[in-house]
Amino acid sequence: MIKDNQKYFNRIQVVADGLIIVIAYVLAWYLRFRSGLFAMDEGYLSMAIYLQALTYVVPGYLVLYGVFQLYTPKRVQGRRLEAWHITQANVIGLLGFILVLYLTKEQNFSRTMLFVFFLINVFLEVLARNLIRMFLRNIRKKGLNQKYLILVGYSRAAEQYIDRITANPEWGYSIRGILDDHQPRGMEYKGVKVIGSIDNLMIILPQNTIDEIAITLGLEEYHKLEYIVNMCEKSGVHTQFIPDYNNMIPTKPYTEDLLGLPVVNIRHVPLNNTVNKAAKRAVDIFGAVFALVLFSPVMLITALTIKLTSTGPLIFKQERVGLQNKSFAMYKFRSMVVQDASREKNKWTTKDDPRVTKVGRFIRKTSIDELPQLWNVLKGDMSLVGPRPERPLFVEKFKEEIPRYMIKHQVRPGLTGWAQVNGYRGDTSIRKRIEFDLYYIENWTIGFDFKILFLTFFKGFVNKNAY
C-alpha cells in the first residue's frame, strides 16, 4: 500500500533535507571565509562556532518545511509551486535567524554568510527534489509505485478524471474500476471497467487494497454522497470528491466560512485584487517600453519592407473586444492587400489566402505583425499576457456556443497567453483555447506571467497555424 510506503519516504526526505541544510551551511561558510570572493573581517568566528548553530538551524528549518507542506504527497503538484514553498520556508528561516542574532546581540556572526547559505540551500533543495521527482515519475511510468483507487459513480466527471489519469502515467495512479448503480457490469471507458454497484464498497473497503476513493457521482445521484462519505470515513481510506459541475466552478475555488457553513464562490479572479492589478500594470508598462526599444530595428525594417512592396497604410487597425466587453482598435502591421472593410470583417484568414502579401505571410508566421500591439499595451487596451482578443462578430457567436466564454473579458486581453504558448493560435480549437484562457485567469500570478513570456520566446513567436 502506498500509504505505508509514504511514511518511510517522508522519513527519508526529512533526513535528506537535514543533510542538504548542513551541506549548504558548510559551503556558505567556505565561500564566505575561504574562497576569496568576499572581503575578510579580522577575527572572524571559526567554523566550530558556526556549526554549533546547526543544532537549532536544522530542526528549525525542518519544522518550517513541514509547515509549508513539503512532506505531503506531490504526485500532481507542479514544480513551480514546490519551489515557491521551499523559497518561502527559507525566507522565514533567514529572517528568523537574523532576528535571533539581533535579540542576542551577536554581531560577529556574518550576515553575508547567512545570505549565501539562503541561496545555496534553496538551490540544492529545489535541485534535489526535482531529481527525486524525475526518478519517481520514471518508475511510475513503468508501473511501479502505483496508487490504487476506485471511482464511485459514472459521470462526465469520471470520464474527465480517467482522461487525465491515462494521459499522465507519471502520476502513478492505477484505477481498479468504477462502482455505479446504473451502468452494467463490464461496461468500460478507456480500459476502466464498471466492476459493481455502489453498495460493493462495503465489501471492497475492508479488504484494505485501495489507497484512495474518488467520488465521481452524476448530479442526479448527489443524495448518495453522505452515505458514501460515511462508509469511506469509517474505513480510513483517503477520499476525494470530483464534482460533476466542474465546468461551472474555478480550478481553485474561493471559499468562505459563514459561521461554519462553507460558501463556494463561483468565480474567483485574482486580477480583481487592486494590488495584483497594479503589479501587472507596472510590469506591462515597463515590458512594453523595453520591447519597443529592443524590437525597434525589426519594426523599422518591417515598415520599410511593407511600404516598398505594396500600396496602402503601414498599420492595420481592427476592432476587438477587450476588458469589460469594451471595444478598442488593435494595431497590426498590414499583412494583406487593402480591401473593403465589410468584406474583411466577416472572414477569417485561411491557408493560401490570396489576400495575404508575400511579406505579410512571413510577418504573420513569425508574429512580427503583432509588434505594434505594444502601443495597445502602453495605452492600457491590452496586457503583455492574457487571452487573445476577438472581433465583436465572433464574440457574439462564441458566447452562445461556448460555456463561460465571456469570462475572458474580466481581464485585459494579451499580446501572448497561456493558450498561445500551448499551441492554440490561429485556426485551432476555440473550446481548448478558452479552457487554457480560463485556467490562466483563475490561476494568475506574476510568476505565471513571466513563465508565459519566457515560453513565448521559445515557442510562441513562430505560428504554424498563421496563414
Residue with cell 464574440: 395
Is the same domain home to 157 and 290? no
Domain span at residue 287 reads: 272-461
CB 305 within 8 A of CB 391: no
CA atoms of 86 and 126, how far apart (whole Å):
7
Alpha helix (H) residue ranges in 34-110: 47-52, 54-67, 79-103
Is the same domain home to 283 and 355? yes
Is the same domain home to 194 and 291? no
Q: Residue 260: inside a domain, yes or no?
A: no
Q: Residue 358: inside a domain, yes or no?
A: yes
Q: How is residue 155 written as a grid cell? A: 459521470
Q: Which amino acid is at 84?
A: W
- Stretch 27-40: mean pLDDT, rounded? 81
Report which DSSP code applies to 458: I
Query: Which domain-ending residue is among 142, 176, 198?
Result: 142
Is the same domain home to 316 and 421? yes
Q: Residue 339: inside a domain, yes or no?
A: yes
Please report the pLDDT score of residue 372 as a whole number: 93
Is the same domain home to 211 and 88? no
Q: Residue 112: inside a domain, yes or no?
A: yes
Query: pLDDT exceeding 70 applies to what percent of the chain?
Result: 88
CB 467 within 8 A of CB 356: yes
Query: pLDDT exceeding 90 applies to what percent of the chain?
Result: 28
Query: Which domain-ending residue is among 113, 142, 171?
Result: 142
Q: Residue 220: inside a domain, yes or no?
A: yes
Is the same domain home to 123 and 158? no
Report which DSSP code applies to 356: B
Please report the pLDDT score of residue 346 as a whole number: 55
How does the average pLDDT of the chain come out, rounded?
84
Is the same domain home to 18 and 98? yes
CA atoms of 141 and 134, how far apart (whole Å):
11
Count other C-beta atoms under 10 Å from residue 288's C-beta. 21
Is the same domain home to 363 and 412? yes
Nearest to 118 by CA among 195, 16, 20, 34: 20
CA atoms of 179 and 202, how far apart (whole Å):
11
Is the same domain home to 61 and 185? no
Please report the pLDDT score of residue 143 as a whole number: 77
φ, ψ of residue 74 in degrees (nearest 5): -130, 40
Q: How is residue 420 written as a grid cell? A: 498561445
Per-residue confidence band for 443, with pLDDT thresholds at 50, 70 and 90: confident
**DSSP for 401-440, written as a single string:** HSTTGGGGGGS--EEE-HHHHTT--SSS-HHHHHHHHHHH
Is the same domain home to 298 and 442? yes
Q: Residue 359: inside a domain, yes or no?
A: yes
Q: What is the pLDDT of residues 386-425, one digit of tens each?
A: 999 999 988 888 888 887 788 888 899 999 999 888 887 7
> Greater confidence, 395 or 354?
395
Q: Residue 266: inside a domain, yes or no?
A: no
Max distance between CA atoms of the chain, in angstroms, equals 82
Query: Which domain-ending residue is among 142, 165, 192?
Result: 142
pLDDT at 75 over 80: no
List, in order, residues 6 or more apart from 19 with CB less than 8 Å away. Answer: none
Q: Could you give the 3-state DSSP secondary structure of residue 290?
A: helix
- Stretch 203-210: mean pLDDT, rounded? 82
Question: CATH number for the domain including 240?
Answer: 3.40.50.720
Is the same domain home to 215 and 319? no
- Stretch 162-169: mean pLDDT, rounded? 88
Q: Residue 267: inside a domain, yes or no?
A: no
Q: How is residue 158 written as a grid cell? A: 469520471
Is the same domain home to 86 and 232? no
CB 429 within 8 A of CB 405: no
Q: Distance between alpha carbon 188 and the CA centroid of its chain, in Å?
A: 32
- Split into its structural domains, the chain has a count of 3
